[in-house]
Structure 1
């Protein structure tokens, strides 16, 4: 979310550089490689503006498969999160960020290497949650793990910042000499 020096990004035909930053940030949810939790309660981490009901918070935790984790905590939604969320595993922090994105109801979810620091089992959970809970939203996934993106509707393959391939995974895999095909073969 820094100023651009060249080019432009348009969402639904709107140049985002012309949208006030606070409005833009309210319409996007980003789950970074290093998940961010804030010092405060779980409730605050999911809903910092205190806009949704407890039922919605519990629903987001259920969707992110964290309901049982939070239910077992002495203060549940009011349990304190330590600095950076260190009292939770990296995978759990990623799932909390996903629950936060669900609470915000953002139409666009950006996952920037969100599964790079988690094990394959948690990655699979995350992918299942995204497939169901965000099926009616746009999800942009930046990933090096091929398994993370195989179920995507469309894949853009970049090489040194240039678009090399752009199609469905099925169509890209039909190209035996394609860049995407070579990446999939290298990851088997």
Structure 2
């Protein structure tokens, strides 16, 4: 699965964008939206309840045996308590233009979670998302894709500081390749310089050390 910086969506419902071949249940689709912070926990519970009620409820339309399922359809993202609310029936404009770039990235991330791909390529996939949400998504990626190969073009150093290996490119050429801890300790190194200039060196170093210690315990 490839998750680009500017994720593109196609016209249709959000459900169709997440699961174009209808291979997953509504509950699974709602679950991945919740896990990437696209909807809140309370919204997820509400949508699961509504989906269950929609499937169970039918009405007679003047003749025996004729039934119509009650379904709630939202034509565009709506507002609730000042926050954008989406459902699986929310309509997506061509290219996803009725969603922000950050929201499109979250939807692409949810699609990857749903597919459980063996190889995930992330090209600055959370660059348009605030730090708090990015931290939650990074935690989700590590939890859900522990058995997948992650190739990440990073926008933020903290995004990859606990990866197994880092590649540093300089003018299109391979300049450094090693574990985060070795690179951050390398005197005169490019990655070390980037960390020092970030203003969060202590935090990055601590994360790199924690990763190294975790790897040693698993050996």
1:46 and 2:57 correspond = no
Q: Contact conserved, 2:14 with 2:91, CA < 8 A, in 1?
A: yes
Deviation at 1:94, TM superposition (A): 1.1
Deviation at 1:40, TM superposition (A): 0.7
Deviation at 1:87, TM superposition (A): 2.8
Q: Contact conserved, 1:63 with 1:133, CA < 8 A, in 2?
A: no
Gaps of 5+ in 2: 48-71, 74-86, 200-219
> Which one of 66, 70, 81 corresponds to residue 38 of structure 2?
66
- The separation in 1 between residues aligned to 2:125 and 2:2, in whole angstroms, is 9
Structure 1 SS opposite 2:28: helix
Q: CA RMSD in A?
A: 2.1
Q: How does 1:29-178 map to 2 (within 5 A)?
A: 29-68=1-40, 75=73, 76-178=87-189
- The separation in 2 between residues aligned to 1:91 and 1:144, in whole angstroms, is 14
- The separation in 2 between residues aligned to 1:120 and 1:91, in whole angstroms, is 12
- The separation in 2 between residues aligned to 1:59 and 1:136, in whole angstroms, is 20
Per-residue CA deviation, residues 45-100 of structure 1 (Å, 9 max, x unaligned), is 1011111122221222222222436767x532122112322333322221111110
Per-residue CA deviation, residues 93-144 of structure 1 (Å, 9 max, x unaligned), is 2111111011122101100121223332332232122121212211111024
TM-score, normalization by structure 2: 0.66
Deviation at 1:155, TM superposition (A): 0.5
TM-score, normalization by structure 1: 0.76
Q: Contact conserved, 1:39 with 1:82, CA < 8 A, in 2?
A: yes
Gaps of 5+ in 1: 1-28
Q: Contact conserved, 1:91 with 1:122, CA < 8 A, in 2?
A: no
- The separation in 2 between residues aligned to 1:113 and 1:45, in whole angstroms, is 21
Deviation at 1:148, TM superposition (A): 1.9
- The separation in 2 between residues aligned to 1:92 and 1:116, in whole angstroms, is 11
